[in-house]
Structure 1
Amino acid sequence: MSDQRHEVQYLTIHGHRRAFVRVGEGPALLLLHGLGCDHTTWDPVIDALARRYTVIAPDLLGHGRSAKPRADYSLGGYANGMRDLLTMLGIDKVTVVGHSFGGGVAMQFAYQFPERTERMLLVASGGLGPEVSPGIRAITTPGFHQLMGLLTLPGIRHAGVLGLHALAASGLKPARDLGEVAHIYDSFKDPNARHAIRHVVRAVVDWRGQIVTMADRAYLTEAMPMAVVWGRDDAVIPVRHASNAAALAPKARVEVIPNAGHFPHKDHPERFVKIVHDFIRSTQPATYSRARWRRLLKDGQVGPIGPLAPVPDIDTA
């Protein structure tokens, strides 16, 4: 797998610059990164996926090289932005792959635009349970912006980034994802990025954990192939949320990767690419039917959703 950087392209949509990478040919894959990350989180897998697919990997608004305006950072706003980006690129339908917060965007995209979604693959995704790491909840607290302003002063930030990278290289399982954390921490030197991330998190997380859930709409996955991938050692969003996905969407394929953290596509890129390819090769793309969607809405989940019942552990073989 290659970790090389890819050419970044730009489009202006609704007055805001959107950065993205487009490589390869074939059926379209839309790769959506997580909170505080950017398209480079997919670098270990982009080249391999591009041998079979047209890969679109954007920097979501407020992230990476995309603009960071005072704007709509809701899941619905992000889904609309992805629709408009794909429209400008002349791409009608995609298999959408979302990691962490990007998984929430992927679910919202599939819900809002089923006619443009062929499949959905969620990677350590938000929206499958309330639990989330204390670090993410802390972003919602008063004073976060000011504190990060101090912690990202040049000398402090440099020492912090070096320390996180050193811990990530230690081989300790709890520290495996700290290289990505260092990248996110470094990005917070931009006050506009801090503002954007705070707005993003407040839209989906409060002091009790995740607010947004797919539980009330999971029955709609009957109309669309769905797969879920998780790292067994995820310290950001618990791996048991993969079992929640299996309970909410019994037809979904669920795979938990041993010896992987919150970024299984980076920990085991070859295996991840194989999972994506096997999922696409063995499923038929969803075809949108307004009548079927209406029937699902009328006959689907009725009433409030209670706590999820316990389900057996997902096989990690």
Structure 2
Amino acid sequence: MERGAIVGWACGPVPAAAHCLGDVPVLYREIHGYRRAFRMAGSGPPLLLVHGLGDSSVTWSPILARLARQRTVIAPDLLGHGGSEQPRADYAVAAYACGMRDLLAVLGIDRVTVVGHSLGAGVAMQFAYQFPERCERLVIVGGGGIGPEVHPLLRLGAGPGAELGLPLATSAPVRSALRLLAPVLRRTGGLGLGRHDFDYVLDRYLALNSATARQAFLRTLRAGVDLRGQVVTMTDRGYLTAGLPTLIIWGAHDAVIPVAHAGLAHTTMPGSRVEIFEEAGHFPHHDAPERFVSVLEEFLETTSPQEYDADRWRHLLRAGSPGEPLYEEAAPPHPSSGS
């Protein structure tokens, strides 16, 4: 399918329930029996934007239209988030990566550049790992799935009893109290989130106002976090990104996942680029949208899409790193002499 025709095909027929957020419509497709919501705009090379935990495609609103001037931008709501269904299902990053592949297949898109934020960065890295033949470039934004450190409230939410505590903590009286206390909390550090991230994270928290939304949130959180922190890491297989153009973007004031993880990712992903946004928190695409678009477009314009090479991928796996191999292939056994 011609890339310029993708949006037109995806938009028709659109269910009557489809609505617009800004100028970009929210579309729906049923995949594996579940409704999947996504936003789509523009024409040209495809760019997949994957949001974070408890968020939705709305997070990309400050930048989506600008990116769509030269590209076909696809911004899904992950299963259990936004306008997508919230079933009792598998919410691990591997399942989400498969979901991204399936949505792209339904839309007739074979290969993409993937941009992932927070949990979405973990999904993006998993997508590049599971489906290297489909990934042209990788962009990590404040990414989960690198080191164990994560905000204490997320560790607490992943612990035992959260399924009982979260309904109380998101009840109508508590939500009303939090709205009233927000100015005070903001002035006193925003529950450790700081001035950059408090308001948006609070909005996402207040949106957990249904049992299904809370269950999906907890299942997603517990698939990657426990009381000790993040349990999923890509650092053991970051070497497989050798040859894959990779950009790492982080806010210097990120209070959700520390900026030190940007350096850790960079050291384990050969040839990656790093951009630290000095005046941004966990959402650099909110705090500095113009710079974010400029950095991303410069990266896209100065790199060539990865061409998947099965032999090279096999070599990397056998070597265990982009350089020195972990082992030497054993010589084939000598045929028996029969003695």
The DSSP-based 3-state class of the residue aligned with 1:223 is: coil
For the residues of structure 1 that align with 2:215 and 2:314, how far apart are their CA atoms?
A: 39
Instruction: Find out whether 1:274 has 2:287 as its counterpart.
Output: no
* 1:115-137 deviation line (CA, Å, top 9, x unaligned): 11000000000122110000111
Seen in structure 2, the aligned counterparts of structure 1 residues 11 and 170 have a Cα distance that, compared at 3 Å, is: farther
Report the alpha carbon displacement of residue 5 of structure 1 after superposing the two structures with TM. 5.9
| Count of aligned pairs between the two proteins | 302
Q: CA deviation at 1:165?
A: 6.8
Residue 178, structure 1, aligned to residue 198, structure 2: yes
Deviation string for 1:162-207 (max 9, x for gaps)?
Answer: 5447755999881221122122212211111111111111111111
Structure with higher Rg: it is 2
Query: Following superposition, which runs of at least 4 residues in structure 1 exceed 3 angstroms of deviation?
Result: 161-173, 301-304
Aligned residue identity for 2:160: P
Q: Distance in 1 between matches of 2:310 and 2:217?
A: 36
Is contact 1:28-1:95 (8 Å) kept?
A: yes
Are 1:45 and 2:63 matched, yes or no? yes
Question: How has the CA–CA distance of structure 1 residues 43 and 162 changed in structure 2, closer, same or farther, with 3 Å as cutoff?
Answer: farther
The question of whether the paired residues in 2 share the 8 Å contact of 1:37 and 1:183 is answered with: no
Of stretches 3-12 and 204-213 in structure 1, the one that deviates more from structure 2 is 3-12
User: Which residue in the other structure is 1:130 paired with?
Assistant: 148
Percent identity over the alignment is 51
Q: What residue is the counterpart of 1:243 in the other structure?
A: 263
**SS where residue 136 of structure 2 aligns?**
strand
For residues 229 and 258 of structure 1, what CA distance do their matches in structure 2 show? 11
User: Given the superposition, is the C-alpha separation of residues 61 and 259 from structure 1 closer, same or farther in structure 2, using an over 3 Å criterion?
Assistant: same
Read off the aligned partner of 2:256 and give its amino acid letter. V
SS at match of 1:259: coil
- Are the equivalent residues in 2 in contact too, given 1:165–1:182 (CA < 8 A)? no
Match of 2:236 in 1: 216
Listed as ranges, the gaps of 5+ residues in structure 2 are 1-20, 327-339
Residue deviations 1:23-71 (CA, integer Å, cap 9, x gap): 1111111000010000001100001101011110000001111000011
> Superposed, which structure 2 residues align to 1:55-134 within 5 Å?
55-134=73-152
Specify the SS of the correspondent of 2:55.
Answer: coil
Can you list the C-alpha shifts for 1:231-273, whole angstroms capped at 9, x where unaligned? Answer: 0000010101111012112410001001100000000000000
Structure 2 CA distance for aligned equivalents of residues 5 and 132 of structure 1:
34
- The alignment yields a C-alpha RMSD, in angstroms, of 2.1
TM-score (norm 1): 0.90
Match of 1:204 in 2: 224
Is contact 1:5–1:40 with CA below 8 Å preserved after alignment?
A: no
